[in-house]
Amino acid sequence: MKILIIEDEKKIAKYLKQGLEENSYTVDIAHNGIDGLHLATHENYDLIVVDIMLPGINGKEVLKQIRNTGIHTPAIFLTAIDSVNDKVNGLDIGADDYIVKPFSFSELLARIRACMRRRTDNYVSNLKTGNVTLDPKTRKVFRDKQKIELTPIEFSILEYFMRNPGQILTRTMISEHIWDYNYESFSNVIDVHISRLRNKLEKDFDKGIIYTVRRVGYVLEERD
């Protein structure tokens, strides 16, 4: 598995490279946004780890440009900024995950495993609940014949729900599945993404599909 690290702090980049190589990953490093963007768009990677604060081009702009070229390689943001708005914004841009510095290396490994599991867990051709259909391979979602555009995180959350229809999923369960890590500061982020997901799925339809279970979590099911 080949990983690109875009990180301007050379000590951190060296530490990550050494740790990942010890875990049998192949690693390339770029120390600025321009070089990182060039590598990401000219080489094939299984995962990109990118710091947000970079010289040349910041990490968010790097990922925007990567996504604009049609490259959907899983990406994890690294940042020292810890706020719900920043996390949501980073995930909306197209990141699959968001890790706040300082972090443990074991946490990064867990997040990498979760990213790759979400992108490769395509053993079912189509998932269907009510009039909502999700295709894990093409990463497309339809309600009736209307295509629903989702961010990577929204897609992963919906896929988790659709693999467990009618089951109440707590925030902890969602966090541990999506990020492979029980990270309390993501609780509000989960609520924000589920709210946006519901709006996209339900805005043009009379019936809901994702319901809140007060003080417990959420459930996806078809109701009369």
Counting residues of the chain whose pLDDT is more than 70, the rounded percentage is 92
Q: What is the CATH number of domain 127-220?
A: 1.10.10.10
82-91, 127-136, 200-209: the lowest-pLDDT one = 82-91
Torsion sign, CA atoms 171, 173, 178, 181:
positive
**Around Cβ 207, how many Cβ atoms within 10 Å?**
11
What is the model's pTM?
0.62
Region 22-48: mean pLDDT is: 93
Nearest-angstrom CA–CA distance, 114 and 120: 10
- Which pLDDT value is given to residue 121? 56
Judged by DSSP in three states, 171 sits in helix
Domain 2-120 CATH (choose: 3.40.50.2300, 3.40.50.261, 3.40.640.10, 3.30.300.180): 3.40.50.2300
Listed by start position, the domains of the chain span 2-120, 127-220
11-15, 95-99, 128-132, 184-188: the lowest-pLDDT one = 184-188
- Which pLDDT value is given to residue 185? 56
DSSP 53: S
Judged by DSSP in three states, 197 sits in helix
- Which pLDDT value is given to residue 77? 93
Asked if domains 2-120 and 127-220 share a fold, the reply is no
184-210 residue pLDDT tens: 555 688 899 999 999 999 998 988 999
Dump strand ranges (E) for the chain.
Answer: 2-6, 26-30, 47-51, 75-79, 97-100, 127-129, 132-135, 140-143, 146-148, 169-170, 210-213, 217-220
